Amino acid sequence: MALCSVAAVAVLTGCTTFEREQAPLPYSGDPLKDGETAISQGPPRDRVLWEYRTAAVALRRGQFDEAKRLLDDAILSIGGIAANDPNAKKARSYFSGESSKTFHGEPYERVMAYFYRGILYWMDGEPDNARACFRSAQLEDSDTENKQYAADYVLLDYLDGLASVKLAGDGSDAFKRAQALAKNPLPPYDPKANALIFIEFGNGPLKFATGQYAEELRFQPGPPGAASAVVRVDGEPVPPEPFDDLYFQATTRGGRVMDHILANKAVFKTGADVVGNVGLIGGAIMAAEGRGDVRNAGIGLAAAGLISKIVSAATVPAADIRCWDNLPQYLSCAALRLTPGQHTVTVEFRDSAGSPMGSLTKTVTLNIADGTKDTVVFVSDKNQ
């Protein structure tokens, strides 16, 4: 009877509160419309994730005001990533899954929010705000607390320095950092460059979980897509190399390959389960075969074992595999000095064998004004 009473108490204290299951959201097939629906009607913890995804679609469609609005709201949330988020506190406990927390994303995802916003600022003639975004992105990719690794995006450093040069400053340190990270020589800065062509292509990394309790967060490359891009301006080739690879960034920090493992929860769950098994079996034997104090001790041990098993069952070590799943793999940029007037830019995307992917070829008309504002274009191999 004593064992049953303790078990009942353990069951009651081990209960968890479940959120009401949400009805499926209406689906139209338009990623922009469906993203807006998910933002306004979906779980609040997924709001930033859908803002990321939807902003990327809006940017690729040329709906820049929409992209800015979404990115501004997401970045505001990123700025509040520190510990006062109750959902983050809940997820850090042993009894809530990582996916219960408010989504902000892995460092490479947060970097891309700032990167896209920086492009949009430069489009608006605000290279100073663009530079601030690129620097904020660098901070997202670095360990500012323990100083174990530094940001290692070539393009962020390169654009930081270019913006400084455009603002009549010194971009040499940023250029040196970028060149140290680049695989090939980078073009020197031209203060009179008046056209920037941002290019993205390929399919970005996806997340999955491994391990006994799905506690290991890992990454895999996105589906095969464009692996290179050939750029021509008025028929003349402009060979921008891919500056950065988001799969590399997802799977490394400071260039070191990292295993993303939520070890503490997994160890706690395993330990609690083992303790529970020992307590239940040992206590049952003592209670069945012992007398007096030994029997009572056996009942107590079995009760403790049962509580430990319940605690183990309530522990949720699974990794959060929610993912900004419409990112590119490669990022590139070309800064050019063009004469005022109209120019034609053609971007031909190629597969891993170097063969043109004709359906993805993009042609953009640049109208270069005779003024101080740069002309900025964004070209993606994605139609959505």
Average pLDDT over residues 76-81: 74
Q: Please check the confidence at residue 83 and state whether its pLDDT lies above 70.
A: no
pLDDT at 78: 86
Average the pLDDT over 256-269 and give the result.
Answer: 47
Give the pLDDT mean for 262-279.
Answer: 44
Higher pLDDT, 46 or 84: 46
Please say whether the beta carbons of 330 and 349 come within 8 A.
no
Using a cut of 0.85, tell me whether the model's pTM lies above it: no
Rounded Cα gap, residues 229 and 199, in angstroms: 8
The whole-number average pLDDT for the span 137-164 is 84
Cβ neighbours of residue 272 under 8 Å, at least 6 residues apart? 308, 309, 311, 312, 315
Query: Per-residue pLDDT for 325 more than 50?
Result: yes
Average pLDDT, the chain: 79
Tell me how far CA of residue 39 lies from CA of 70, 188, 297, in angstroms. 10, 42, 55
Helices (H) and strands (E) in the chain — how many of each? 12, 13
Residue 266 neighbours by CB under 8 Å, 6+ apart:
211, 212, 213, 215, 317
- What's the gap between Cα 279 and its chain centre? 42
The predicted pLDDT at position 21 comes to: 56
Q: Which of 81-90, 107-116, 140-149 has the lowest mean pLDDT?
A: 81-90
Q: Which residue has the higher pLDDT, 81 or 127?
A: 127
- What ranges make up the beta strands (E) of the chain? 195-201, 206-210, 216-220, 228-233, 236-238, 244-245, 252-253, 256-257, 260-261, 330-336, 341-350, 362-368, 375-380
- Overall average pLDDT of the 345-350 stretch: 96
Which H or E element spans position 6?
Answer: helix 2-13
pLDDT value at 38 more than 90: yes
Q: What is the mean pLDDT of residues 73-100?
A: 56
The Cα–Cα gap between 97 and 287 comes to 36
pLDDT of residue 323: 95
Q: Which of the pair, 110 or 5, is modelled with greater confidence?
A: 110
More confident residue, 83 or 167: 167
- Name the range with the highest mean pLDDT among 51-60, 81-90, 181-190, 288-297: 51-60
Residue 206 DSSP class: E
The dihedrals phi and psi of 220, each to the nearest 5 degrees, come to -130, 150
Q: Which of 18-32, 64-78, 337-351, 370-384 shows the lowest per-residue confidence on average (mean pLDDT)?
A: 18-32
pLDDT band for 2, please (50, 70, 90 cuts).
very low
Between residues 137 and 79, which one has the greater pLDDT? 137
The domain segmentation of the chain, as residue ranges, is: 264-314
Structure tokens at 157: 């450093």
Whole-number Å distance between alpha carbons of 101 and 98: 6
Confidence (pLDDT) at 309: 46
Provide the sign of the torsion angle of the four alpha carbons 172, 177, 178, 184, taken in this order. Answer: positive
Helices (H), 124-215: 127-140, 154-166, 172-181
Residue 312's closest CA among 346, 356, 265, 347?
265
Confidence check: pLDDT of 199 > 90: yes
pLDDT in tens, 8-31: 333 333 444 444 556 688 888 899
